[in-house]
Amino acid sequence: MKRYFQPVEKNGSAKKPTPSPSKKNDENGEILVEEDTKKEPLKFLTWNANSFLLRIKNDFPDFTKFVSEFDPDVISIQEVRMPAAGSKGATKNPAELKDDTSSSREEKQIIMRALSSPPFNNYRVWWSLSDSKYAGTALIVKKCFQPKSVFFNLDKKASKHETDGRVILAEFETFRVLNTYAPNNGWKEEENSFIRRRKWDKRILEFVSHHEEIDVSHPEFFSTAKQNNYVPPNKEDCGQPGFTLSERKRFANILKEYVSSTSEIDGGKLMDAYRFLYKEKDMEQGFSWSGNPIGKYRGKRMRIDYFIVSEKLKDRILACEMHGKGIELQGFYGSDHCPVTLVLSEASSINSGES
């Protein structure tokens, strides 16, 4: 749900952004992309696809058009919902899509065919997948902006993947991008979902964000929401997962912390890029998740997809937008989450001595 940025080093003030690669048509009508002169990724897109396979099957032409127009350098996908490679009972490979059965081979072909077509053929993809069609993340990066290193866990161990494929960490020249899919807080403590989420928040200490009433369309509805009339013993765990008082308190405390991702690099305070630019509630286009347009959740929306950046990068934030609109899920491309984008200006300088 969240994309986190931490600078490696930043000196001086920010420059204006270098333009994205220009596009033109050749004599056959094909789109040609001219060489990109940017030194690092500046345009980012994050999207909880709620099954990447289903989106490709049903909604991909519209999403492809959106990607072509925005022209992101990095695309972060959550809820891929594709199983990791490996037969039943065997050790799984979370970095590869399952293809050991006829159905899994067909599904993999559908996905890889989509990613080998324009504009995605200009990108490279990394996967971190669950053992089943659950959770999972993908990081899709333009081939001209390949990261210096990629990890699939918070411990930065070479071959380890987080449970359910919830983390992809890419290190670029002047910052790191952490693509995460946070566990759902759930409704009941006896299902261990509350404990799981607390453990996750503790581990992700230097990267989580703040979630306030301004970030939901109907605060009273979400704070009192129940599942099957169940009321948790701890009142702070009551309400819609993603908006419980317990979660919001942890977010608030963490955002205020001075954090460091490694012993030698000071990350500084963290910022919510969207809220940095927009201080007021936007009932039309200020939310990233929407309930079903039919039933009691109609019109009930939350902003639970974020770009969280180090405070050191705040002068480079040019735009952060939510691309869903209204209560009919326009711009959601079949998911219950809409894409969110971030645009940074180019760093003023890069210290070549920094590792």
pLDDT in tens, 12-66: 333 334 444 445 454 444 444 445 567 899 999 999 999 999 999 999 999 999 9
pLDDT band at 261 (very low <50, low <70, confident <90, very high): very low
Helix (H, G, I), strand (E, B) or coil at 271: strand
Q: Which residue has the tokens 């928040």?
A: 201
Mean pLDDT of the 122-148 span: 96
- Sequence-separated (6 or more) residues with CB below 8 Å from residue 229: none
Would the pLDDT of 152 be above 70? yes
Q: What is the pLDDT of residue 255?
A: 59
pTM across the whole model: 0.76
Looking at every residue in the chain, the average pLDDT score rounds to: 81
Higher local confidence (pLDDT), 247 or 74: 74
Q: What is the pLDDT of residue 355?
A: 27
Least confident of 138-147, 158-167, 184-193: 184-193
Q: What is the pLDDT of residue 217?
A: 77
Tokens of 277: 């630019």
Strands 306-310 and 2-7 turn out to be parallel
Would the pLDDT of 256 be above 80? no
- Contact indicator for 281, 322 with CB cutoff of 8 Å: no
Helix (H, G, I), strand (E, B) or coil at 60: helix
Q: What is the pLDDT of residue 189?
A: 65
Q: What is the pLDDT of residue 46?
A: 98
What's the angle, vertex CA 287, arms to CA 286 and CA 291, rounded to 5? Answer: 145
Tokens of 213: 């009433």
Would the pLDDT of 341 be above 50? yes
- In whole angstroms, give the CA distance from residue 118 to residue 114: 8
- In whole angstroms, give the CA distance from residue 223 to residue 70: 35
Q: What is the pLDDT of residue 232?
A: 79
Percent of the chain with pLDDT over 90: 48
Start-to-end C-alpha separation, the chain: 28
What's the angle, vertex CA 3, arms to CA 154 and CA 338, rounded to 5? Answer: 135
48 is in an annotated binding site: yes
Least confident of 2-11, 236-245, 304-313, 328-337: 2-11
Q: 147 phi and psi, to 5 degrees?
A: -65, 155
Q: What is the CA radius of gyration of the chain?
A: 20
Residue 149: its H or E element: strand 149-151
218 is in an annotated binding site: no
Q: What is the pLDDT of residue 11?
A: 40
* Number of Cβ within a 10 Å radius of residue 304: 21
Nearest Cα neighbor of 139 from 182, 164, 171 is 171
Q: Model confidence over 203-252: pLDDT tens digits?
A: 766 444 335 566 777 787 888 888 888 887 788 788 887 678 777 777 66
Q: What is the pLDDT of residue 6?
A: 58
Q: What is the pLDDT of residue 347?
A: 83
Higher local confidence (pLDDT), 194 or 187: 194
Q: What is the pLDDT of residue 268?
A: 53
Mean pLDDT of the 143-153 span: 94
Nearest Cα neighbor of 215 from 238, 243, 182 is 243
79 is in an annotated binding site: yes
CATH topology of domain 2-6+40-186+272-344: Deoxyribonuclease I; Chain A (3.60.10)
Mean pLDDT of the 87-101 span: 93
